[in-house]
Chain A
Amino acid sequence: MGVLSLNCNMKFAVERISKGGGRLGKLSNLRSQPDVIHATPMTLVATVGGSAPHLTQDVFNLVAKKDAPLCVSAQHYCKHVEILQAYKKGVASFAALQGHSVCVTVQDAAQATPSGYNDKQGISTWTHGGRQVLTPQTYMNVVEVMQPDWYEVLCDADTPPDASKKRLSKSAAMSKSYLTQCLKLHKDSNCLQGAGVLIPLLGGHSYAERVRWSKWVADNAQDGIEAAGYSLLGLHTNGPKVEKIDAKAVCELVETSLGSLSQSLPRQASGAWNPLTVVRLVMAGVDIFDSTFPYLVTERCGALTFLHWLTRDPSRDNLQHQDKRLRGDSEKNKNQDEEETLNEKEKESKSEELESTEGKENQCDEEVNVKSSYEICLKDKRYAEVQEPLVSGCECYTCQNFTIAYIHHLTMVKELLAPVLLSIHNLHHWLGFFSSIRTAVGSDQLVDLQRLLQTSAA
């Protein structure tokens, strides 16, 4: 491995390491936004086909700031290299989102990546036209034309929790080779000067492998690899399953990976982590996330309603009140059901069977098998007449203008506006959640936030 020195402009400074876990940082000097400073922990806005899902740029700007960083996957653009090459101004501008900075990742975190398709040649990714193999060369071509502010280096992250030892060592071997090639191509590329490089932190779910990989990265750093940051990969293979991953286990793996590495670089962990896992990952030292979780919630007709405000803001009292009311309703229903069940128990003494069936019927929709406790499901008939916003006191465009009943109606008739309104709300809620995280880290209260999520998720 030769000595590589990458000219990188992206700056990151750790501002505060909280006693309660987590750290505050500032990401700045991005090549497309030299004057913008992003406070971390932060979330990137996940995109599909270059746009925030369901949102045209004017609607997107109702939710996010005009400089909000985006996460665009190479998966969506590997078929459009010639188009971007001809366009010359990069993917943000191409998608009419100029002004937003861009991080390029290999895979779209919202889509489960099928396992077992990577080989010596490269990484498999799935486009509308089918499987596409990305070699270091083709991947770097995609990255070049996308003109990101920072990007993930190509690696073999196909290491699901049950991956074999052989798979892990293969992943490591190939990833090393890809990394070397990608860094060389980066160095030789004029277009990529000033773009930050995220070095992948791999090793699947094996502590030993993770330690070994990080050690290799650290050793080579002494040789002069100047990374802009780290990307925690190989923890999952994308898609909705990620939100169900055990937070504790993941955080231990992350801590293992980060142990021997520099504290001064930003750490990114993409994927549909649920809010509680996000908080724990922040505690473990992760700085950058993305909005895949709210996107997936939107796709299953859900609206985020979880509480994340630690400080008592009078305008939020309503929210808690409302939330309690809704929650109360469901509790009441449950109680009723239980009572009925009990009655029937007495009558028929087939208690357990009945209880379980009653429980199933009480669920809003049996089709929706992945539903978290952070959201409400708009398919649920109980919302048909609720003339209140999704979250009262919420300042998003959706909550300011529309009622739950209307969104329920749109959901039931499968109108395209339903996911638009839900996207607006969910993204707004998600961005607000990160603002709460930063406040909590700043006041050493991250544990309180964690507790709040645990209680409301219970």
Chain B
Amino acid sequence: MAGTASTAASTFLHSSSSPALKFRVVAQCSVSRARASVMTLPHHTVHLPTFMPVGTQGTMKGLLPQQVKEAGAEIILGNTYHLGTRPGKESMKAFGGLHQLMGWDRALLTDSGGFQMVSLSALSKVTEEGVKFQSPYDGTEILLTPEESIAIQNAIGADIMMQLDDVVDVMEKDYDRFKIATHRTTRWLDRCMEANKNPQRQNLFPIVQGGLHPDLRATSLDQLIARDAPGYAIGGLSGGEAKDQFWRVILQCTGRLPPSKPRYCMGVGFAVDLVVCCALGADMYDCVFPTRTARFGCALIDGGQLNLKNREFAVDFRPIDDTCSCSTCTHYTRAYIHTIVTKYPVACHLLSVHNVAYQMRLMDNIRSSIIEDNFPTFVQDFMAGYYKDRDYPTWLTDALAAVNIHLKKANIHNQEGVLTSAVSNREGNINQETQKSDEGTDQRNSNEEREVIKTKIGAEALEDDGLDESDIIKGNFWDHNSRILKLKQVGYRDAILDDYPDQEKAGQAAGWRAALASSQSKTNLVLTLSQLAGALMALKVKQSLTQDQDKEVRELLKEVERKVKMASQSDSPYLLTFMKQEIGEAFEKEINTSHTEVNMESGLISSTVSDGAFSPVSTNTAAATMTIQNQSLESEANSISVLQNRVQTLYQSCGLDTTQLLTTVFHSSH
């Protein structure tokens, strides 16, 4: 094989030492970039690769520190933004840091807080000074500077701190915005390093930025590596980008980052991603996914998840996973958890214990296979177990082929598999060998080349996303074919959002207010309402509901209907917004009849407006009326977000995932 792409066969094991971190590679996979290492931090020695469960507010979602340790976690993550708000920097100092406060004696990592600000607040603004945002708690404007972020992190006292970075939504289209962010992130790193009052005990990790642009990533890498940090993070990913783009960025970064330093891949936590990123040479990961999915009643197992709310588990007296030795699997049956799941917090604790233990065991298995130099076989077996039909998504075969691990696809796709692998193999070489300045172009070329091959063979087979409407209705999110869209949809971002309902609600309401008050709003309230109606109808038709749920659906439908009716009244705040966006093009022709009709059965909306008084010409009048109505707008905005949340809760109570809702209905307000 032309597999010189990896750092294969290197017998030299890298190590590095800085005041608060000692890093030593103990084994290097002879085929891929995977490595097993040991990272000694002030509070604990961590065995890498590892997964860091997220204990946002100074606790691991209902588990005692002892239980987290028993589950195998050696380092956990705390969120600076939340801890800086409550209990606050000064209290944190008084308590002697988070280790002391929460009774955790192993290692701790804190993020910078910038990410939450951008994602939780609808009204954040990034300036050279820092991130300016509206507090979801009291609406006041707050400025988080690199200095302040480090001051809070110093007070928390984590073993590893993250620099404040300029986070750009990975889906952002503007190249220049990424360019600014890349350079600004470096400038902020310098300010963070300057501000660190405790470099002897607390490490500061820079974050590689640059979005999906290889040239910007290369610049970022160069600049950050020049600062000689104890370790590095790869940021700006896991925000809903295509998997195919995701792995290429990781590959580029691990190829350039010093092999003697730990590499932290932010926001990654799905089993397949963890295995792939380890193969690509990353060492540390974090994600709220394992504890979050636990709260929705899901248990992680090899090959996917079990949704314990499903009736099939009612008389299933086996443990969640009979190969798992966590305290949940040792003592509890699936059937018992089924009877209490999403009803009592104990179920959530049991699943959190198991899910954290599952992640840790997966990382352990990866680690030992690297030490035994058996990692490629491990990957092949793992993937074969995960995709039982061996119908591997292309990004996966490509990503692994880039580091010389080859998955054999099922027969139907054999031909295509070989071809794409060959191409990506070459890509791997290109990534390794060409100068970074050329890399972007080359990669683009080979992408085009691959596109051609794709077209020849037939595109259907390459389609990763097997999730359709009916899957949502049936709640089949976790079967093998539907996983990939899910990976895309449930990025770290959504996970975070969903984890803090209060903040999310506040942000949502702020979004609506902004939308309603702005004359250039992109939000169409009526459309959103009709989507809500559709979501409710779907539930009603396809799902067997309990009495309570049915009642809730009826109530919500009535409420939505009422709101839509309001839109047809001339003094309605809805109408103004509605007019501005919709009338302009689609409805101008039909300004003849005088009401809006909603066909509740189909969840579709047909709207016609007659009164000339609100034609788009009279925008000024509209704006004037708008100001007068600001107060009612406020309450409308709030009531719509309350409606949204109720629909979301309802979906969750039916055991359905709200991912689809999140992307279609719920995020339309942001």
Contact = CB atoms under 8 A, between A and B. Distances in A.
Nearest to A401: B103
A413 B86 contact: yes
B62 A384 contact: no
A416 B61 contact: yes
B314 A406 contact: no
Interface residues of B, number: 44
A53 interface: yes
Interface string A409-430: 1101111110110000000000
Q: Chain B: interface secondary structure?
A: helix
Given A401-B103, A402-B103, A420-B349, A59 B336 contact: no
B335 interface: yes
B86 A49 contact: no
B82 interface: yes
Interface in A358-416: 384-385, 387, 397, 401-403, 405-406, 409-410, 412-416
Contacts of B94: 385, 387
A130 B551 CA distance: 12
Given A128-B343, A403-B101, A413 B57 contact: yes
Interface in B610-634: none
A35 to B, nearest CB: 23
Given A59-B67, A387-B95, A415-B59, A405 B87 contact: yes
A382 to B, nearest CB: 14
B411 interface: no
Interface stretch (B244-252, B326-334, B443-451): B326-334
A24 B429 CA distance: 83
Interface in A19-34: none
Interface in A45-89: 48-51, 53-59, 80, 82-83, 86-87
B547 A129 contact: yes
Nearest to B501: A414
Contacts of A457: none
Contacts of A49: 339-340, 343-344, 346
Nearest to A418: B59
A51 B59 contact: no
Contacts of A51: 340, 344, 346
A413 B102 CA distance: 14
Contacts, number: 121
A387 B101 CA distance: 9
B315 interface: yes
B82 A413 contact: yes
A58 B353 CA distance: 11
Residue among B62, B67, B343 with max Cβ neighbours from chain A (10 Å): B62
B455 interface: no
A50 B339 contact: yes
Residue among B59, B101, B315, B548 with max Cβ neighbours from chain A (10 Å): B59
Contacts of A397: 64
Contact of B87 (A58, A86, A129, A384): A384
Nearest to B342: A128
A129 B315 CA distance: 19
A191 interface: no
A410 B335 CA distance: 31
Contacts of B59: 410, 415-417
A310 interface: no
Interface string B57-72: 1111111110100000
Nearest to A415: B59
A53 B344 CA distance: 8
Contacts of B87: 384, 405, 409, 412
Contacts of B327: 56-58
Interface in B60-112: 60-65, 67, 82, 86-87, 91, 94-95, 101-103
24 contacts: A48-B344, A53-B344, A54-B346, A56-B328, A56-B346, A56-B350, A57-B327, A57-B332, A59-B67, A83-B314, A86-B315, A87-B333, A94-B333, A96-B333, A130-B546, A130-B547, A402-B103, A403-B95, A405-B87, A409-B101, A410-B58, A410-B59, A417-B59, A417-B64
Interface of B: 57-65, 67, 82, 86-87, 91, 94-95, 101-103, 314-315, 317, 327-328, 331-333, 335-336, 338-340, 343-346, 348-350, 353, 502, 546-548
Given A83-B315, A413-B86, A415-B59, 12 more contacts: A54-B345, A56-B67, A56-B327, A58-B331, A80-B339, A82-B315, A86-B315, A94-B335, A130-B546, A130-B547, A405-B95, A410-B57
Closest 4 CB pairs between A and B? A416-B62, A49-B340, A96-B331, A417-B59
